[in-house]
Chains A and B, each alone.
Chain A
Amino acid sequence: MPVIYMLWRFVNFSRSLSSFFQSWDVFGLLFNTISVFIAVVISSLIVGLLISIVTVRFEFAGSKILFTLCALPLVIPSYIGALTYISAFSPKGLFVQLFNSLGLEEIAGIDGFLGSWLVLTLFTYPYVQLICSSALRNLDSTVEDAARSLGVSQLKVYTNVVIPRLKKPIIYSGLLVGLYVISDFGAVSLMRYSTVTKAIYAYYEFSILGDPVIFYSSLLIVLALIISFVQRGSATSRSAKVSGTPRVPKKIKLERSGKMLTYSFLGFVIFLGLIIPISVLSFWLLRGIYYGNDVSSSLPGIFGSFSAAIVTSIFAIIISMPIVILISQYKSKFGDILEKLMLSLYGLPHIAVGVSILFISVKIFPGIYQSFFALVVSYLIVFLPQAIGGGQASMEQVKSTYIEASLGLGLSKVETFQKITFPLIYRGLFAGGALVFLSTMKELPQTLLLRPTEFNTMAVDVWSFASEALFTQAAFSAFILLAISAIPTYILSTRNLTV
Chain B
Amino acid sequence: MVFDNLIIRARSLSKSYGSEDVLTDFNIDIWYGSIFGILGVSGSGKTTALRLLAGFENPDQGTIEMHNKVIFDEKTNVPPEKRKIGMVFQDYALFPHLTVEKNIAFGLSKEEIKNGRLDEVISMTNLSSYRKKFPQDISGGQQQRVALARALAPKPEVVLLDEPFTSLDAQMARDLREEVVSLLRATKTTGIIVTHDQEEALSVCDIVSVLENGKVIQSATPQEIYLNPISQTVANSVGDPNIIKGISTNGRVKTSLGTFNSAYDGELDVSIRPECIEVNLDSNGDYVVKECIFYGHDQVISFENKNGEIFRARSLPSMIFEPGDIVCIDVTEVTTFPSKN
Contacts and interface: CB of A to CB of B under 8 A. Distances in A.
B106 A407 contact: no
**Chain A contact residues: over half helix, strand or loop, or mixed?**
helix
A409 B93 CA distance: 12
A399 B92 CA distance: 11
A24 interface: no
A363 interface: no
Interface in B39-93: 54-56, 79-87, 89, 91, 93
A401 B88 CA distance: 10
B287 to A, nearest CB: 46
Contacts of B15: none
B93 A402 contact: yes
B306 interface: no
A410 B154 contact: yes
Interface in A394-409: 397, 399, 401-402, 404-409
Contact of A405 (B79, B82, B83, B87): B87
Contacts of A419: 106
Interface string A326-343: 000000000000000000
B107 interface: yes
Chain B interface mostly: loop
Interface string B86-116: 1101010101110000000011000000000
B95 A402 contact: yes
Contacts of A420: 95
Contacts of A235: none
B96 A424 contact: yes
A111 B24 CA distance: 75
Contacts of A411: 81, 106-107
Could you say which of B55, B83, B107, B151 has the most chain A C-beta atoms within 10 Å of its C-beta?
Answer: B107
B80 A408 contact: yes
Given A410-B82, A412-B81, A404 B106 contact: no
Interface string A410-422: 1111000001100
A423 interface: yes
Contacts of B314: none
B150 interface: yes
Nearest to A415: B81
Interface in B134-152: 150-151
Contact of B54 (A397, A404, A410, A413): A404
A411 B80 CA distance: 9
A405 B96 contact: no
Contacts of A397: 96
Contacts of A404: 54, 56, 80, 87, 89, 93
Contact of B97 (A399, A410, A413, A423): A423
Nearest to B105: A409
B89 A405 contact: yes
Contacts of B81: 407-413
Nearest to A408: B87
B85 A408 contact: yes
Given A399-B91, A412-B81, A407 B56 contact: yes
Most chain A CB neighbours (cut-off 10 Å) among B80, B87, B150, B153? B80
A420 B106 CA distance: 10
Contact of B106 (A401, A406, A413, A424): A406
A402 B54 CA distance: 14
Interface string A363-407: 000000000000000000000000000000000010101101111
B53 to A, nearest CB: 11
A58 to B, nearest CB: 36
Interface string A429-456: 0000000000000000000000000000
A412 B97 CA distance: 19
B156 to A, nearest CB: 8
Contact of B80 (A401, A402, A407, A423): A407
B245 to A, nearest CB: 44
A401 B93 contact: yes
B113 to A, nearest CB: 13
A423 B103 CA distance: 14
B166 to A, nearest CB: 15
Contacts of B97: 423-424
A416 to B, nearest CB: 8
Interface-centre pick from A405, A408, A420 (highest chain B CB count, 10 A):
A408
A402 to B, nearest CB: 5
Given A404-B54, A404-B56, A404-B80, A409 B106 contact: yes
B66 to A, nearest CB: 14
Of the candidates B56, B91, B153, the one having the most CB atoms from chain A within 10 angstroms of its own CB is: B56
Contacts of A399: 91, 93
A289 B55 CA distance: 70
Contacts of B107: 409-411
B144 to A, nearest CB: 14
Nearest to A424: B97
Nearest to B79: A407
Given A401-B93, A407-B55, A407-B56, 9 more contacts: A397-B96, A401-B91, A404-B80, A404-B87, A405-B89, A406-B95, A409-B106, A411-B107, A424-B97
Interface of A: 397, 399, 401-402, 404-413, 419-420, 423-424
20 contacts: A399-B93, A402-B93, A404-B56, A404-B89, A405-B93, A405-B95, A405-B150, A406-B106, A407-B55, A407-B56, A408-B83, A408-B85, A409-B81, A409-B150, A409-B151, A409-B153, A411-B106, A412-B81, A419-B106, A424-B97
